[in-house]
Amino acid sequence: MHKEKIPKLTIPRLSLYYRALLESRESAFISSEELSKLTQFSAAQVRKDLTYFGEFGTPGKGYRIVELKEVILKILGTGRQRNIALIGAGNLGLALLAYRGFAVQGFRIVAAFDSNLSKIGKTFEGVLIRGMNELPQVVRNKNIEIAIIAVPANVAQEAVNKVIKSGITAILNFAPIRPKAPKGEEILNIDLSIELERLSYFLKRKSKKV
């Protein structure tokens, strides 16, 4: 069906192609030019990415949308629900818990954990906040595959260690550290300060040009 390994930078583009396809309900086919227009990637880039799925475009018509959607879902592994544990029920954690957008893509926060005794036992958005000691058992029982780390920097490595020990291998980290982890773990870091510093660099260069 498709080559074994797809380059890392192609994966987020697949997500965006899929989203564009969801909005293209008027026709049965879509051309690489149309997909390029919808996603703002170049048509050459789109065509190159689509070669990973094998040759199923129809000359003069483009790609069958139903088929393309199915293939992308299969590659991303998003055709089924993936359960998430939220570590940290502070401001950011609760915002993520309240965010309904995940569920649409098949991701669901099914359990939340905090070390703050005043939070443990409370329920937010239908999810019970538990103590960290319950993590290993809940991960097993609820078939949790992904952890979201939303704790302060100074306790983030400890939280990551506990998550890894519980058997989770995929982590989305919001704490402003780069956690250490053994091979075989996949950690994606979302670091807001770094993004703001990128913008600052852009503003700096821009002001020089003026």
Tokens of 65: 């949308």
Nearest to 127 by CA among 78, 83, 188, 171: 83
Interface pick for a second copy out of 60, 126, 206, 210 (rule CB under 8 A): 206
Select the residue interacting with a second copy from 76, 83, 115, 128 (CB under 8 A).
76
In angstroms, what is the C-alpha Rg of the chain? Answer: 20
Is residue 126 left, alpha or beta, with left meaning phi > 0 and alpha meaning psi from -120 to 50? left
Q: Find the shortest distance in angstroms from Cβ 139 to a second copy.
A: 14
Site string for a second copy, 33-72 (x = CB under 8 A): ------xx--------------------------------
Q: Applying CB under 8 A, which of residues 7, 15, 28, 167 lies at the interface with a second copy?
A: 15
Surface-to-core class of residue 46, CB atoms within 10 Å of its CB (0-12 exposed, 13-18 middle, 19+ buried):
buried
Burial string for 126-155 (b: 16+ CB within 10 Å, else e) reads: ebebbebeebeebbeeeebbbbbbbbeeeb
Scanning 27-35, 47-55, 136-144, 145-153 for contacts with a second copy by CB under 8 A, the matching segment is 145-153
Overall residue count recorded for the chain in this entry: 210
Which range touches a second copy (CB under 8 A), out of 12-20, 44-52, 135-143, 157-165?
12-20
* Chain residues that interact with a second copy, rule: CB under 8 A: 5-6, 11-12, 14-16, 19, 39-40, 75-78, 82, 84, 91-92, 94-96, 98-99, 101-102, 104-105, 107, 145-146, 153, 169-172, 176, 178, 180, 184, 186, 188, 190-207
